[in-house]
Structure 1
Amino acid sequence: MQRLLDHIQKFVVLSEEEQEILLSYITCQEVNKKDYLLRQGQICSANYFILQGCFRLYYVNDNGTEQILHFGIDNWWIADYESLEKQTPSEFYIQAVETTEIAVLKKSIQEELFSKVPKMERYFRLVFQKAYTASQMRIKYIYTFTGEERYRHFNKSFPGFVQRIPQYMLASYLGFTPEFLSKLRGKKEK
């Protein structure tokens, strides 16, 4: 849980008492590789902080192809926020790419935590602002970069991550086929 506390301290400073209250609301869980936190049609019931590991959030399009919208790695939060907030069935899957350890904050007790530790509401606002900004930039890159530019930018920004995930998942996230990604990687090696 120290990873979670360290992450929070980057945004807000919690007293020891506030940390203890927070930790009383959090549970830890290990999710095996390929297991699901959420499946399409289920209601997302918690925010998940990734202590160590990797998840992917994706949907299956009309052609039966998986389209990855988001990866969550060490020190990131992941959830289907529309399903979580509205308590409606999810349109997405959240699946472990590797065995992953998470901290779980259930929706049912989140407001109580915010009431007892108001700084946590500020923390989540700041985290979501940062995530929203990253999302906007990703959309911009999809519209303005070529496939090769998207790959080069992603590889430069997250070099270690590119090695952690299967090629077909990276291709899905970047919006092209695994074959196109193979050609890009082949060009790089020449």
Structure 2
Amino acid sequence: MFDILRNSISRYIELSDDEFEQFTRPFRFETFKRKDRVLTEGEYCSFEGFVVNGCFKVYYLNENGHEQTLYFALEGWWITDIDSLINHVPSILNIEALEDSEALMISKKDKEELYKSIPQIEKLFRMMNQQSSVALQRRILSLTGKTADKRYLEFLEKYPGLEQRLTQQLVASYLGITHEFLSKIRKKTSLGK
């Protein structure tokens, strides 16, 4: 269960076996059934979660009440509402399991304690936050500056094989288009192959 976490963090830092055991001690292993909510809009987010198995969607409801998916979190990804967690404000995000899933959850308090006991952990989360900021910037640029066709192709590249695990409605929500328009794009791209 912790192997996937160790492999993930090894891209950023190296921990001894003792440090890794100390690092993982405060994590809680949790299972989620399909459609379970990990976080609901209006709640205060008090965790960060590392996805061990399964898939989650992180989304909000726009002013028309339609879901807008920010990202999908697969194995090796993290889930949280960073604004709510850091600033202790009610979440505007929802996090939901799209299939039976497993995650390692850590509280903000426990993470802060790890910063003190293992200085490398602060570097780890700083580097991961930088990568997250880059991904967010790319997502914004894609949504505001690219056609739906190009966003769809980027989605396929970013999440290989995920389209088979999702409904067309979920993919459309991520792309910011209707599922009818997605059907047209899919048809067009399959004809172009």
TM-score of the two chains, using structure 2 as the length reference: 0.94
Q: Counterpart in 2 of 1:67?
A: 68
Q: CA deviation at 1:110?
A: 1.4
Q: CA deviation at 1:106?
A: 0.8
Q: CA deviation at 1:8?
A: 1.1
Q: How do 1:1-190 and structure 2 match up within 5 A?
A: 1-190=2-191
Q: 1:188 to 1:81 in 2, by over 3 A?
A: same
Q: CA deviation at 1:108?
A: 2.1
Identity in percent: 38
CA distance in 2, matches of 1:100, 1:89: 25
TM-score of the two chains, using structure 1 as the length reference: 0.95
Per-residue deviation, residues 100-128 of structure 1 (Å, max 9, x unmatched): 11001111221111111111111111111
Helix, strand or coil at the partner of 1:104:
strand
Per-residue deviation, residues 157-186 of structure 1 (Å, max 9, x unmatched): 322122222111111111100000011112
Aligned residues: 190
CA distance in 2, matches of 1:189, 1:122: 44
Unaligned runs of 5+ in 1: none
Q: CA deviation at 1:188?
A: 2.8
Q: Which of structure 1's runs of 4+ aligned residues deviate more than 4 A? A: none
